[in-house]
Structure 1
């Protein structure tokens, strides 16, 4: 593989790995703050135990997220320094806000929350939990604002061959970002919900034949996860529709490739599934099962509008951005070669369906959990906890597939042209890579992938340890000189 392919593989591996931790941290931090709120307001012991147990798992995941996330910003300088020089005047601002504002707030209030048990007044301690959880959302906001600028550049002038920011407000209120943020947060709640359902179902099953003083903790957690999962999927559907309509306007090639729509259609059908090789642009060998006119509705909210196919869009892109890469030695083997404006169709087509399908499976397990625990019931069949444990993976897979689709669907651009933006504010991925040797990138790729594999083992070990330990594993033995409620207090 050449340097460009290696750099893309490295960024993809490290980013997808890091994003496994991010949605669980975001969703679980808000849910843990809600559990603590319920405890402070009602005084019910089960909410206290829920806060302690799920809070411990949140801390493990957050720590791993911080460690794996450190590489992400450094990678721009390591493998993508040409990109960094091109977008630095714009991209640096939201990243700095994420680091200096959101992350510092997260760390500060998380520290107060960890060490504030028995030291801070209850409501002050609760405020720290909410400050931390809201800071995680703010952190996601700034990162998504930066990513959305790559997808839809706004708020800039083009000066001396580089975009220069003229409005931070335009960058932060980019309509692409405003659509991506609620969709991403809904996905985070879906991940946290599945995690609650899976772990709680396993604990209920493990002690099904004996007395379990914490059964109400697991049942309440199970139902909370079920409700959150169902609501999150509904939010994903609504926000995803909004995001899709924007993509049809801003990145029509991405959405055409999501449908493997090779030829323009009016009205356009939505493909449920395809049989055959969708990467063949003539589509002659592909058999699809379609819903008539649905794609036109998803694109433009009516059942009649034309949706352009890949072949027509390629012609438009060639006319506007050229048929060949510049004859620049910095582009290596691609210098002067034809530009392939078509994304990897199998990845975009199936990634889009994996995203939707696994999200729906996760919501379905949530509905099942609510049904099996209705009217005080506790699930007593062995298949449900197994299904729930497997279900933990479904929103993770859906989230990852969604991001792979989002990033690979914009190729060959690393900064996508804004159809109504400033001319020149776009960049091919091939132009963005650093001038490194393949051996240098191989070295960092192997080193980082190996490090992440070790961290993965550590994450699984710690999560498994505290999950198996249950509530008892996060609460100290009672002290004789304190009341029952106070004896439950514990500093992480």
Structure 2
């Protein structure tokens, strides 16, 4: 266990755990905003009930996302101080805007949304939720502006060994930013839709379901959102991967397990395993023409392999290992794409089997179980996608400028890193258990819980404290 490997593991752990809740809160916030908008338009109380009920799930994800985000920020000063010094002049502006503008706007209007249900008109109240949704997306935009610089540096110059910003607009015009932003927001949309769908399915599987129509309509809305998000995420992902062919060819080749240059046309590898030490493929199953179509939108064209790319990088940047963890990238990409395709199919089939003429899905428990288990698929797909994005940049923290080894804090030790890794792991485990238990608790209350509480409060207010009923 080296300092570098422990520091990388800790940052990966905190980032992955935090990113469980970023698309969770953005996506469920969008669904809640849609539900409340439907209430404002139709005046049907069932949509108001949906917005309040699923809004509680959204609030839990938002709270945990804030806590884990603060923990993640500690990493820059703790374990990656040299990296922070190198990119501090670049990262300062977008991260400051994210904190001072996007997050404050998000938290302020979220507070207004929580506490003004009966104080403002429904039209104004729903605007609060849409502002929260917009602000959360803007928050992601500014953070991704910093991350996109790591993937494709632009608008900078090197002074005294540090990257210094020369153009803020160049940071926003970075094409990598918009590939990432589109992919992340689309992923958040499908995450929100699938979570609402899956949790509704679990509720419908109960023997005694309170207000089943509520969950059926929630499930239908979730499927519609998930379908839109699935189409958007596959489109955004396709555009981003095509850009990698030119911008980060080593990452692209690793996701396809290509050590040698392909022929023309290029075959796509369905499954494979690589000998990473020997820099060669052990076995694999190829499908002709498909990689050319995926990379160039035509059934012709070759793709450069990692061995040739590594030689080019050695000439350009000096002698070191430029091979990323191939097996991890190869299978992470397929997990991401596979679950993305699965969510698209589930959304399509779910909508087909819940149409008014023949609502077969609600009569088949195995179908509901599939939808329920799909609740976990966005988390797996999102995590796999970030593994591809971040591990594929190896050995760089800032592509072509600064390596991982250069980035680690000079004053950390193996003992301190091991201790903090254990502490963070236990902390995240505790937070995760608490989050799941609170979600289960909210689901157990049911959609009519608030009305029951209000009714009890009304009855209590009418009782004379000296009446005999007060002592029953």
Superposed displacement of residue 372, structure 1: 2.3
Aligned residue for 1:237? Answer: 234
Superposed displacement of residue 53, structure 1: 0.8
Paired residue secondary structure (2:158): strand
Aligned residue for 2:128? Answer: 128
Preserved contact between residue 257 and residue 274 of structure 2 (Cα < 8 Å): no
Superposed displacement of residue 166, structure 1: 1.2
Paired residue secondary structure (2:280): coil
Preserved contact between residue 50 and residue 221 of structure 1 (Cα < 8 Å): yes
Task: Sort the Cα spacing of 1:474 and 1:18 in 2 relative to 1 into closer, same or farther, 3 A.
Answer: farther
Task: Sort the Cα spacing of 1:52 and 1:261 in 2 relative to 1 into closer, same or farther, 3 A.
Answer: same
Identify the match of residue 249 of structure 1 among 246, 253, 258: 246
Aligned residue for 1:371? Answer: 352
Moved more, 144-153 or 154-163: 154-163
Aligned residue for 1:152? Answer: 152
Is 1:410 paired with 2:393? yes
In the alignment, the residues of structure 2 paired with residue 142 and residue 215 of structure 1 have an alpha-carbon distance, to the nearest angstrom, of: 41
Preserved contact between residue 268 and residue 288 of structure 2 (Cα < 8 Å): yes
Moved more, 133-142 or 358-367: 358-367
- 1:38-80 Cα distance to aligned partner (Å, 9 max, x none): 1011111110111011101000111011111101222111100
- 1:14-53 Cα distance to aligned partner (Å, 9 max, x none): 1101111111100111111111111011111110111011
Preserved contact between residue 191 and residue 378 of structure 2 (Cα < 8 Å): yes
Preserved contact between residue 26 and residue 136 of structure 1 (Cα < 8 Å): yes
Question: CA RMSD for the aligned pairs?
Answer: 1.8
Identify the match of residue 305 of structure 2 among 309, 313, 316: 309
Preserved contact between residue 260 and residue 278 of structure 1 (Cα < 8 Å): no
Paired residue secondary structure (1:306): coil
- 1:115-151 Cα distance to aligned partner (Å, 9 max, x none): 0111122222111111111101111111111111100
Aligned residue for 1:433? Answer: 408
Paired residue secondary structure (2:213): helix
Aligned residue for 1:344? Answer: 325
Identify the match of residue 322 of structure 1 among 318, 321, 326: 318
Preserved contact between residue 197 and residue 369 of structure 1 (Cα < 8 Å): no
Matches within 5 A, 1:13-412: 13-206=13-206, 212=210, 214-267=211-264, 268-274=266-272, 276-279=273-276, 281-283=278-280, 285-286=282-283, 288-323=284-319, 339-375=320-356, 377=359, 379-412=362-395
Moved more, 147-156 or 189-198: 189-198
In the alignment, the residues of structure 2 paired with residue 104 and residue 481 of structure 1 have an alpha-carbon distance, to the nearest angstrom, of: 34
Preserved contact between residue 109 and residue 131 of structure 1 (Cα < 8 Å): yes
Paired residue secondary structure (2:436): helix
Preserved contact between residue 193 and residue 222 of structure 2 (Cα < 8 Å): yes
Identify the match of residue 433 of structure 2 among 457, 463, 469: 457
In the alignment, the residues of structure 2 paired with residue 434 and residue 157 of structure 1 have an alpha-carbon distance, to the nearest angstrom, of: 23
Superposed displacement of residue 478, structure 1: 4.6
In the alignment, the residues of structure 2 paired with residue 430 and residue 178 of structure 1 have an alpha-carbon distance, to the nearest angstrom, of: 29
Aligned residue for 1:3? Answer: 3
In the alignment, the residues of structure 1 paired with residue 151 and residue 262 of structure 2 have an alpha-carbon distance, to the nearest angstrom, of: 25
Preserved contact between residue 262 and residue 281 of structure 1 (Cα < 8 Å): no
In the alignment, the residues of structure 1 paired with residue 15 and residue 430 of structure 2 have an alpha-carbon distance, to the nearest angstrom, of: 16
Task: Sort the Cα spacing of 1:475 and 1:443 in 2 relative to 1 into closer, same or farther, 3 A.
Answer: farther
Task: Sort the Cα spacing of 1:284 and 1:145 in 2 relative to 1 into closer, same or farther, 3 A.
Answer: closer
Q: Which runs of 5+ in 2 are unaligned?
A: 459-472
Preserved contact between residue 257 and residue 281 of structure 2 (Cα < 8 Å): no
In the alignment, the residues of structure 2 paired with residue 154 and residue 388 of structure 1 have an alpha-carbon distance, to the nearest angstrom, of: 43
Q: How many residues align?
A: 454
Paired residue secondary structure (2:274): coil
In the alignment, the residues of structure 2 paired with residue 356 and residue 462 of structure 1 have an alpha-carbon distance, to the nearest angstrom, of: 31
In the alignment, the residues of structure 1 paired with residue 258 and residue 369 of structure 2 have an alpha-carbon distance, to the nearest angstrom, of: 38
In the alignment, the residues of structure 2 paired with residue 38 and residue 137 of structure 1 have an alpha-carbon distance, to the nearest angstrom, of: 21
Superposed displacement of residue 446, structure 1: 1.2
- 1:350-382 Cα distance to aligned partner (Å, 9 max, x none): 000000111222222222321221116261122
Superposed displacement of residue 273, structure 1: 1.3
- 1:309-366 Cα distance to aligned partner (Å, 9 max, x none): 010011001111111xxxxxxxxxxxxxxx2110011100000000011122222222
Superposed displacement of residue 259, structure 1: 0.7
Which structure 1 residue ranges, 4+ long, deviate > 4 Å from structure 2? 478-482
Superposed displacement of residue 393, structure 1: 0.7
Paired residue secondary structure (2:164): strand
In the alignment, the residues of structure 2 paired with residue 454 and residue 141 of structure 1 have an alpha-carbon distance, to the nearest angstrom, of: 30
Preserved contact between residue 271 and residue 289 of structure 1 (Cα < 8 Å): yes
Paired residue secondary structure (1:374): coil
Superposed displacement of residue 302, structure 1: 3.3
Task: Sort the Cα spacing of 1:48 and 1:322 in 2 relative to 1 into closer, same or farther, 3 A.
Answer: same
Preserved contact between residue 4 and residue 430 of structure 1 (Cα < 8 Å): yes
Superposed displacement of residue 159, structure 1: 1.9
Identify the match of residue 442 of structure 2 among 466, 483, 489: 466
